[in-house]
Chain A
Amino acid sequence: MNEKTIKRRIFNNKLYKIFVFLFSFLSIIPLFLIIYFVLIRGLKYVNLKFIFSMPKPMGEIGGGIFNAIVGSFIIVGVAALIAIPIGIIVGIFLSEYKEKKYTEIVKILVDTLQGIPSIVIGIIAYLWIVKPLKQFSAISGSIALSFIMLPLVIKSTEEVLNLIPIEIKEAAYAMGVPYHRIVLKILLPSGSVGILTGTLIGISRILGETAPLLFTAFGNQFLNLNLLKPMSTIPYLIYVYATSPYKDWHNQAFAASTILIIIVLSINLFGRFMEKKWKM
């Protein structure tokens, strides 16, 4: 092998590293661009008055997003209340009945559920709840969001339960503890960190979901606490304001996005931080 080819190979190797380095860094730039522009255009409008007052009628300047903030918390809260218990039970099932063919199928279906476009989930909640009740409602939004959160809770529960050493279970069996108590009193508490992780990441995900709410929870100019009536949410409000022709509403969309992005990314980061703790 002559010196020339060796030099070329070393050069190619360097070129490859530079390429990988450059493209990797380029791909995280949008993260900072998005956060930067949202904050720079939104932060100046965020204040207590914006958070705690109601929207002004269409076209009027000023007003806040209190109804949407309350709505988001209610709808996401109810969705979490539906998704967490069901998700934990399915997660236990997947980790306890590993050998069965049936479990394998359920596992693939859980992955599939996660892959369904969120707008299709919205159609389903519309067909199952909005149509029979003949009106848009907060509860239909919650149910749509719970379908999106469900696979995240299931998977993290299953994963963390799989990490628990079999000896712990065997020790409990040897002492004559009944099966349901082993799972509920020993396995679940040991896996609580993992379940919490899935819950946090799930909540941060559905807090920002808009598509499934377009024709379920719809939106509401007024403060509404009734689950059977339409309710506004922060992401829905951002969408409506951003696509409206009013300059003031655009600014408010950025302000609402500032609030949403801070909440969502903090919960997400905290969830990931917890995840790193038990996954290593």
Chain B
Amino acid sequence: MRKDKVFKIVLLLSGFLIVALLSGIFLSLVFSSIPSIKEFGINFLFSKDWDPINNKFGAFPFLIGTLLTSVISLLISIPFSLSISIFLSEILKNKLISNIFQTFVELIAGIPSVIVGLWGLFILAPFMRTLQSKLGIQPIGVGIFTASIILSIMIIPYSASIGKEVISMVPIEVKEGAISLGATEFETLKSVTLPFSFNGIFAGFLLSFGRAFGETMAVTMVIGNANKIPESIFSAGQTMASLIANEFTEATTKLYTSSLIEIGLILFIVSILINILGRLIIRRFSF
């Protein structure tokens, strides 16, 4: 019986390990950000100077870059991921074809982000360049918009699979009620299924937004890496994640490293809030 006791203690401690790990991550980030927090305070978020030579750091351009890319990519992804969710749960009745299709969707999420970035840099960016010169915009190819397209490709599988789950959970009786009243499939979807699963679908979008927010490699390769506030959605920019990827190993002074870590801390806090909120909504939905 002593072995049983030890075993139970190990199990309980393993749970504590996760608590310790996350608290450790948070505390380390906060602790290492202190020099930067002390120096710049709240102004760090609103200052647009990122000037390593004069030791002046402000995160505003990267906050804007991150918000722009993740919001645009979310907007692009919505019609696609919603369509997949509906297609898989309501329209495709053949189980085999539905499985194959879903596997394709999930494989997109399985492609390493550096390869998506490589494709973006050498295939999509030249294509965007031609498109931009036809539209009369300065043809740089890379930039905020190209990064958003890449991101939307990468986040579609997440919101699509969550959307499919929650739409499949809508009780069949509710839908049958609408159909027996003479509603078409579209009307059933619009007035019964979607309102019923709205919270879950919203959570899916929220979580995929969180993904886009923190995605690094693919964005770093196609965003153009310009440390300024983008003038338009076609100009080059920088996100918080791509800034860290580009400059962390080059950071020479303590304040420089600390500022980059503070940006990491912001990424951490935002992604944690998004994740907890999203999971709570989904969990309430599935009960």
- Chain A residues with CB under 8 Å of chain B are 9-10, 12-13, 15-17, 19-24, 26-28, 30-31, 33-34, 37-38, 41, 86, 89-90, 92-94, 96-97, 102-103, 105-106, 108-120, 122-124, 126-128, 147, 178-180, 183, 204-205, 207-211, 214-215, 218, 235, 238-239, 242-243, 250, 253-254, 257, 260-261, 264-265, 268-269, 272, 276
Contact = CB atoms under 8 A, between A and B. Distances in A.
A106 B7 contact: no
B272 A115 contact: yes
B221 A242 contact: yes
B118 interface: yes
B79 interface: yes
B83 A119 contact: no
A178 B87 contact: no
B114 A269 contact: no
B22 A109 contact: yes
Nearest to A235: B114
B274 A24 contact: no
A215 B249 CA distance: 6
| From A105, A111, A119, A210, residue with most partner B Cβ within 10 Å | A119
Contact of B118 (A27, A205, A209, A254): A254
B1 to A, nearest CB: 7
A110 B18 contact: yes
Interface residues of B, number: 84
Contacts of A26: 80
Interface stretch (B44-52, B133-141, B207-215): B207-215
A126 B244 CA distance: 12
B42 interface: no
Given A27-B80, A179-B4, A239 B107 contact: no
Contact of A97 (B11, B17, B110, B160): B11
B79 to A, nearest CB: 5
B118 A211 contact: no
Contacts of B114: 208, 210, 235, 238-239, 242, 257
Interface string B11-38: 1101101110110010011001000000
Contact of B28 (A38, A116, A127): A127
B206 to A, nearest CB: 11
A35 to B, nearest CB: 8
B198 interface: no
A31 B104 contact: yes
Contacts of B227: none
Nearest to B160: A27
Given A112-B275, A257-B115, A86 B14 contact: yes
Given A119-B214, A178-B4, A211-B245, A261 B112 contact: yes
